[in-house]
Amino acid sequence: MSESFWAPGATHAELAEAFNQNEARVNWHDETLWWVRQKRDRMARSVPEWELLRETASQIKEQVLSSLSEYLEQFEAQATLNGVQVHWATDADEHNRIVHGILKEHGVDRMVKSKSMLTEECHLNEYLKEQGIDVVDTDLGERIVQLAGEPPSHIVLPCIHWKKEEIGELFHQHLGTPKGNADPPFLTHAARLALRKEFLARRVAITGVNFAIAETGEFVVCTNEGNADMGAHLSDVHIACMGIEKLLPLREHLGVFLRLLTRSATGQPITTYSSHFRKPRPGQQMHIVLVDNGRSQQLSSDDFRGSLKCIRCAACMNTCPVYRRSGGHSYHTAIAGPIGSILAPNLDRKQYADLPFASTLCGSCSNVCPVKIDIHVQLYKWRQVLVKDGYVAVGKKLSIEAMNYTLSHPGLYRFGGKVGRWFMRTMPWLVNNRLNPWYKQRDMPTPTKQSFGEWYKANRP
């Protein structure tokens, strides 16, 4: 979905504040995702070698990134031998044009798409809509947000911010289900019936890619609903879109990644379907679009390269106490949460300069990451880069500079502290007012007469 969903220039703090207007909803959102985090914990603890698996996965991905161009060429050669047409896209626009070109070639104006965060990142749906092509998202969660005219708020659970009653109402409006029916199995069945028609009528299917194997040229798509398989098997043309970082060197490496992916994502041992695609069936066309869109740039940075190890499990979102209490849409980008906050500034520093600050740097994200991306360290490093590049509000810059000047001069610091505490004691309204964001919902600490430094001087001469 497009950036137009968000008010131009809206920051995470503003969008999160709006989300927090309804505290009961925040509680519900937080508890739902915390429940997923707990499922993930139980599943991780069922694998005694869990930490070794994470380390192994991390090292395999490091290896991929260190020789990415070689693995990409090997993958292209193998896939081509398998009869797959491989395309290269420098950016989102080229990706969208390649997909549109394939559709045009087949004279197709409607198609089905299973969940692909890459196509969200590239805003493919809007692009194709502008070209007069009708796209139906077939993943249930994606279909819900598509009907609602929203982007996904979570990369694995796209409509996690929707309550079942609201989905019942949405389906009543769009699919004609009875008003007031919010029974999840019923609604799922209704969506399935509606989608079944689309599957049968559409000749082109787009899927994402979870893992691509350089050794064999095959790719793996993990879904719980089987909609990727349904789309791909019924279609005359299967287009798989993938970021260039999705590669694994060998097929045997899937034994590491398939064990980690879904345990980390939803706390399941494995997705219902882990579908391996290697070559088109007779009479079918298969295309792979390899997309860079800023990844080479990220690859060239020692500090931020590691973000490309990401396998899009969303464990960092489920564990993030900020994400759970601000909702995915507050990140105003396709990939929300901690990982999104270190990916997005690479695409547009100005637009996403707020995201690395939408974190307390608590570090929980790095601990759950199945490929051990040092997410919170990269958030800290992005802050330094963004400030140096000037993407910081003047008021903030001035106040930090003033604070730093005071803290760099012990005499001024002691004097300032004494004066400040005196003002707080004698004129508390100076800080206890609505201009002070701390005071809005929290009391200020009690100002003491004596600092520790003053006490020490008086008591330990």
Partner 1 sequence: MKGGNLKVGLFVPCYVDQFYPQVAIATLQLLEKLGVEVVYPPTQTCCGQPMANSGFAHLTGGCNELVTRAFLGLDYIVCPSGSCTLHLKEHLHSDTLPSAADHIRGRIYELTEFLVDVLHVEKLDAYFPHKVGVHQSCHGQRGLHLSQMTELVAPVFSKPGKLLNMVEGLELVELDRTDECCGFGGTFCVAEEAVSVKMGKDRVADHLKHGATYITGADMSCLMHMEGILRRARSPVQVKHIAEILNQAR
For residues 354-373, which are near partner 1 according to CB under 8 A? Answer: 357-364, 366-368
Residue of 3, 6, 10, 20 that binds partner 1 (CB under 8 A)? 20
Of 8-16, 231-239, 254-262, 301-309, the window that binds partner 1 (rule: CB under 8 A) is 8-16
Nearer to partner 1 by C-beta: 250 or 393?
393
State the burial class of residue 295 (Cβ atoms within 10 Å of its Cβ: 0-12, 13-18, 19+).
buried
Let me know: does 64 contact 248? Beta carbons within 8 Å. yes
Of 43-51, 119-127, 158-166, 175-183, the window that binds partner 1 (rule: CB under 8 A) is 43-51
The CA distance from 119 to 209, in Å, is 11
Nearest residue to 125 (alpha-carbon basis) of 381, 275, 134: 134
Let me know: does 332 contact 3? Beta carbons within 8 Å. yes
182 belongs to the binding site for partner 1 (CB under 8 A): no
Footprint on residues 425-444 left by partner 1 (CB under 8 A): 437-438, 440-444
Length of the chain equals 461
State the burial class of residue 452 (Cβ atoms within 10 Å of its Cβ: 0-12, 13-18, 19+).
exposed
User: How does strand 219-223 pair with strand 211-213?
Assistant: antiparallel
Nearer to partner 1 by C-beta: 148 or 362?
362
CB 102, min distance to partner 1, A:
42
Residue of 426, 446, 458, 461 that binds partner 1 (CB under 8 A)? 446
Residue of 23, 107, 435, 458 that binds partner 1 (CB under 8 A)? 23
The CA distance from 31 to 318, in Å, is 10
Residue of 13, 182, 234, 431 that binds partner 1 (CB under 8 A)? 13
Nearer to partner 1 by C-beta: 348 or 389?
389
CB 336, min distance to partner 1, A:
14
CB 340, min distance to partner 1, A:
16
Nearer to partner 1 by C-beta: 10 or 387?
387
Token pair, residue 249, equals 């060197």
DSSP string, 199-215: HHH-SEEEE--SEEETT
234 belongs to the binding site for partner 1 (CB under 8 A): no
Nearest residue to 235 (alpha-carbon basis) of 207, 277, 203, 201: 203
Nearest residue to 245 (alpha-carbon basis) of 304, 314, 291, 277: 291
Residue of 85, 268, 275, 451 that binds partner 1 (CB under 8 A)? 451
12 belongs to the binding site for partner 1 (CB under 8 A): yes
Residue of 104, 189, 276, 457 that binds partner 1 (CB under 8 A)? 457
CB 237, min distance to partner 1, A:
42
Q: Which amino acid is at 229?
A: D
10 belongs to the binding site for partner 1 (CB under 8 A): no
452 belongs to the binding site for partner 1 (CB under 8 A): yes
Let me know: does 211 contact 220? Beta carbons within 8 Å. yes
Footprint on residues 272-331 left by partner 1 (CB under 8 A): 319, 321-322, 325-326
- 379 — phi, psi (to 5°)? -60, -45
417 belongs to the binding site for partner 1 (CB under 8 A): yes
Of 179-187, 224-232, 286-294, 416-424, the window that binds partner 1 (rule: CB under 8 A) is 416-424
CB 419, min distance to partner 1, A:
11
Of 107-115, 186-194, 279-287, 445-453, the window that binds partner 1 (rule: CB under 8 A) is 445-453
The CA distance from 281 to 82, in Å, is 11
- Show Cβ contacts of residue 130 under 8 Å, excluding neighbours closer than 6 positions: none
* DSSP-derived 3-state class of residue 387: helix
Helices 184-201 + 227-234 axis angle, to 10: 20
Please name the residue ranges forming H helices in 106-163: 117-121, 124-130, 140-148
Let me know: does 174 contact 160? Beta carbons within 8 Å. no
Let me know: does 114 contact 205? Beta carbons within 8 Å. yes
Footprint on residues 382-411 left by partner 1 (CB under 8 A): 383-384, 386-388, 392, 396, 400-401, 403-404, 407-410
Footprint on residues 48-67 left by partner 1 (CB under 8 A): 48, 50-51
The CA distance from 424 to 389, in Å, is 36
CB 8, min distance to partner 1, A:
20
Residue of 83, 226, 249, 447 that binds partner 1 (CB under 8 A)? 447
CB 367, min distance to partner 1, A:
4
Residue of 47, 175, 182, 234 that binds partner 1 (CB under 8 A)? 47
Nearer to partner 1 by C-beta: 52 or 81?
52
Nearer to partner 1 by C-beta: 281 or 442?
442
Let me know: does 356 contact 379? Beta carbons within 8 Å. yes
45 belongs to the binding site for partner 1 (CB under 8 A): yes
